Structure 1
Amino acid sequence: MTAALTLTGLGYETEGRALLTGIALRAEPGQTVGVVGPNGSGKTTLLRCVYGTLRPTAGRALLDGDDLLVLGARERARRVATVPQDSPAEFELTVREVVAMGRSPHKRFWEPDSAADTALVAEALERLAITGLADRAFPSLSGGERQRALVARALVQRPGLLVLDEPTNHLDIRYQMEILGLVREAGATALLALHDLNLAAYYCDRLYVLAGGEVVASGAPGEVLTPSLLAEVYGVAAEVSVHPATGAPTVTYLPGRRPD
């Protein structure tokens, strides 16, 4: 199942300060869409407005034409899976139990796991290379291990839309690539915030660049990632070339050189 996400005029204001203004974004069914930008640009606020921990103060967020703001919590959980940037680790559940929570929106309260649920959980544990951690207490895991467990939970949820805020945090490069590869293969539409522009360029179909809570550029990675944009938005000098093996744009930063 995949879904189309459409944001129109989305805004968020708190204490008289606008954190997002007039956000327009479209993720087509099955696309992987990246949100990039410097710290404080509004990436996490935008994702929170999409997955529901913040309520936008302007605009609309539609999933296949349905207003996300009026969907009940259970219906939203069936259709949208989230991996937040920071997740509490104090709940005393095993990794297997945390991953199995992804099936909860699809069942009645206290309904036991079916054989199909158990198989989905086992598959996700294996795909994220955490089968050996299945019986460990979630709080005992490292940051990277917790992140992989939360991605497994999201995949088990089988949503139409995956929303991931810095899903590669705390991970070494091998697991960064594996997780982003799994996101692309999951079959769901994906909206993710990323810091690493080269990972964003390789794994995302489309990028939206935020600065000061506004979209300042959007399009295919090769259209968006230019030396002039990196100078304007990030304040860095960089060269952008096409990688000979992957064909993706590759950003090389130029330390010590002032941006043009």
Structure 2
Amino acid sequence: MDILRIENLNKNFDGVDVLHDVSFTVQQGERLLIIGPNGAGKTTLFNIIGGQLPATSGRIFFREQEITQKPAYQRAHLGIVRSFQILSLLPNLTVLENALLTFFGCSRSRFELFKDWHSNKEVVDKAGEALKMADLWEMRYEPVKLLSYGDQRRLEVVMSILLDPKLLLLDEPTNGLTSEESTSIVRLIHKLGKGVTVLVVAHDMDFVFEVAERINVLYYGGLLASGSPDEIRNNPKVKEIYMGNGGS
């Protein structure tokens, strides 16, 4: 079953076509990776799916409901959750406290209103399960500012997971990470159940081929190719882009 359907999506900035006639579907439980050279339109596409940007034309359906005109917060309520490239953690709070903020609001003032959070076993247990899944439980009382960048990226993914997404959008989750840190993100994605569909923009090809069940290739704002990792790896047009033109 399609959880997301994109139909003839176009985006124009000041007369310049950034996306043109992009159409594809995402299956329930699928791990779909979106790749392409710099300037291909990947982030613009993500911004439109997440509701941060309006499309110039085209339609978007989520679980058979049209969401083309819905703002980002309404899409989030439907289960579309996005993790951004830029970290949005509160550095002076602990790992566990940041995770709990997912339940109690996104500001420290709201968190402080919830004086008895330690006694709320249900939310602490849920946060703990997610932190254990990400191998962050042993660091739960550490201030976030003391964590490595890779651990902070994992925590941000954990916080996205705690929002109970139906569709999780990850924008360059391994950007700036070491190979070992990237592998930890791969493990975390593999641990997610099929109840969570994962759509990822990435340029790290090792990461892409470890995670993807299917890959879409954007090129100059259009969908150049779509297929399994093996199909994309052996696609002559994709090879030309990445080997001939040095796309990242």
Q: Which whole-Å CA distance do the structure 2 matches of 1:168 and 1:174 have between them?
A: 10
- Residue 223 of structure 2 is matched in structure 1 by 215
Which residue matches 2:101?
101
Which whole-Å deviations, capped at 9, do the CAs of 1:153-174 have from their partners, x for residues lacking one? 0111121000001112233333
CA positional deviation for 1:139: 4.3
1:3 positional shift: 7.0
The amino acid of 1:86's aligned partner reads I
Structure 1 equivalent of residue 52 of structure 2: 53
Contact in 1 for aligned 2:89/2:98 (Cα 8 Å): no
Letter in structure 2 aligned against 1:28? Q
User: 2: CA distance between counterparts of 1:201 and 1:35?
Assistant: 11
CA contact (8 A) 2:43 2:201 kept: yes
Calculate the TM-score normalised by the size of structure 1: 0.78
Deviations 1:208-245 (A, max 9, x none): 0011111100011111222622343224499xxxxxxx
Asked whether the equivalents of residues 102 and 153 of structure 1 are also in contact (C-alpha less than 8 Å), the reply is yes
Per-residue deviation at 1:75? 4.0
Out of 110-119 and 224-233, give the one that drifted further. 110-119
Counting only pairs closer than 5 Å after superposition, residues 29-44 of structure 1 correspond to structure 2 as 29-44=28-43
Q: Structure 2: how far apart are the matches of 1:141 and 1:18?
A: 41
Distance 2:223 2:42 in 1: 10
Determine helix, strand or coil for the equivalent of 1:20. Answer: strand
Aligned-partner SS, 1:4: strand
Higher percent of residues as helix: 2
Partner of 2:139: 133
Cα separation, 1, equivalents of 2:221 and 2:228: 20
- Give the match for residue 199 of structure 1: 207
Greater length-normalized contact order (CA 8 Å, ≥ 6 residues apart): 2
- Confirm whether residue 225 of structure 1 aligns to residue 233 of structure 2: yes
How far apart are the structure 1 equivalents of 2:80 and 2:243?
35
- Report the residue type matching 2:46 in the other structure: L
The separation in 2 between residues aligned to 1:90 and 1:20, in whole angstroms, is: 34
Uncovered stretches (5+) of structure 1, i.e. residues with no partner: 239-260
Superposed CA RMSD = 2.8
Give unmatched runs, 5+ long, in structure 2.
Answer: none
User: Which of residues 147, 161, 166 is equivalent to 2:167?
Assistant: 161
1:80 aligns with 2:88: no
- What is the identity, as a one-letter code, of the residue corresponding to 1:179? I
How many equivalent pairs are there? 234
DSSP 3-state at the match of 1:9: strand
Calculate the TM-score normalised by the size of structure 2.
Answer: 0.82
Q: 1: distance between equivalents of 2:145 and 2:69? A: 34
* 1:45 counterpart letter in structure 2: T
Percent identity, aligned pairs only?
A: 27
1:212 counterpart letter in structure 2: Y
Is the deviation greater in 193-202 or in 151-160?
193-202
